[in-house]
Structure 1
């Protein structure tokens, strides 16, 4: 019998007694620059099989328990955590909630999974939306550029997973850099 996991989109504020199966996309240390770089937390982005991304946070007081187990791209079971509303001042995903590790949290790396959990997630914004967000501190974009082209292998009649290629122009340097991203559909 297959394990039953809760989906990140179904999380509600409060203590969660269910287990989620998630991939760790990214993690980093959040430090207080006003206090000499004192560690505040280890923050992360988690994604599930429905491509729902949530912000996760391990408080500094609990980071030693988990930090050596964190591996970007790996799949984990997560249980015994708190669910809080996402902060409007520090919003890392579109999800209305965030995950906060507590004393009862369990975060175990899985050697394998039957679920198809994406390995990347991109958020695209219209230009006017980016202008509205400028200098608000509400969003933290990783890369900003112009989407120049989209190509799909759906019409190529290639067996297997279908892919989408996005061409992104970055104006940071002259001549403009062109990057291509591939992703599964």
Structure 2
């Protein structure tokens, strides 16, 4: 008998009431606030069979238990997690909730060729321009873009939140040959948070 999995839309704040079947879309490490040489958390973005997304956080004490198990693109059964409010400043999903993976959490890799893939959250340049006119643009969840990098500008160093950060402007072009320049990218996060495909 096939196992029955719950859906992200049915989650409520508190301890888990059912097992989730999820595909890992993204995972990235975030350094500790007071020591950038140490990993603070392992952050993950998952989606279920309906394409709904949810963010998950693994605290540093538990990272070694799960780091080698989790691989982007793979499907997992996730059990015994905690559901909380998504109060992250930089949001990776529109979901008001997030998952905390702690010492009692159980994660098992699954082989399910029929599980859908919704890895990219693509936005066109036209959509990005429209988003910029909305008052909550700065709080919009992260998204993916697709295009050809046609120019890279010299990196500059700025202090952000009291920390020196290297930033670089790049210009990308879409299939309609529309250039998009407003891409000030933190070099540390470029490969982690933004998917850019070289066509």
TM-score, reference length from structure 1: 0.71
Q: Distance in 2 between matches of 1:31 and 1:82?
A: 22
Unpaired segments ≥5 residues, structure 2: 148-173, 183-196
Q: Distance in 1 between matches of 2:113 and 2:62?
A: 30
Residue in 1 that maps onto 2:41? 41
Residue in 2 that maps onto 1:22? 22
Q: Distance in 1 between matches of 2:140 and 2:35?
A: 22
Range that drifts further, 7-16 or 119-128: 119-128
Deviations 1:112-154 (A, max 9, x none): 22643224131545534334345x4664344388xxxxxxxxx
- Whether the 8 Å contact between 1:19 and 1:79 is mirrored in structure 2 is yes
Query: Counterparts in 2 of 1:1-185, with a 5 A limit?
Result: 1-32=1-32, 34-87=34-87, 89-110=89-110, 112-113=111-112, 115-122=114-121, 124=123, 125=127, 127-131=129-133, 132-133=135-136, 136=138, 139-143=141-145, 167=175, 169-172=178-181
Q: 1:170 to 1:143 in 2, by over 3 A?
A: farther
Report the alpha carbon displacement of residue 180 of structure 1 after superposing the two structures with TM.
9.6
Richer in strand (by share): 1
Residue in 1 that maps onto 2:190? none
Report the alpha carbon displacement of residue 107 of structure 1 after superposing the two structures with TM.
0.8
SS of equivalent residue, structure 1 residue 69: coil
Q: Distance in 2 between matches of 1:68 and 1:81?
A: 18
Q: 1:3 to 1:127 in 2, by over 3 A?
A: same
SS of equivalent residue, structure 1 residue 18: coil
Q: Distance in 1 between matches of 2:92 and 2:33?
A: 19
- Whether the 8 Å contact between 1:46 and 1:53 is mirrored in structure 2 is yes
Residue in 2 that maps onto 1:151? none
- Whether the 8 Å contact between 1:32 and 1:40 is mirrored in structure 2 is yes
Unpaired segments ≥5 residues, structure 1: 146-165, 174-178
Residue in 1 that maps onto 2:169? none
Q: 1:126 to 1:3 in 2, by over 3 A?
A: same
Q: 1:50 to 1:129 in 2, by over 3 A?
A: same
Report the alpha carbon displacement of residue 90 of structure 1 after superposing the two structures with TM.
2.6
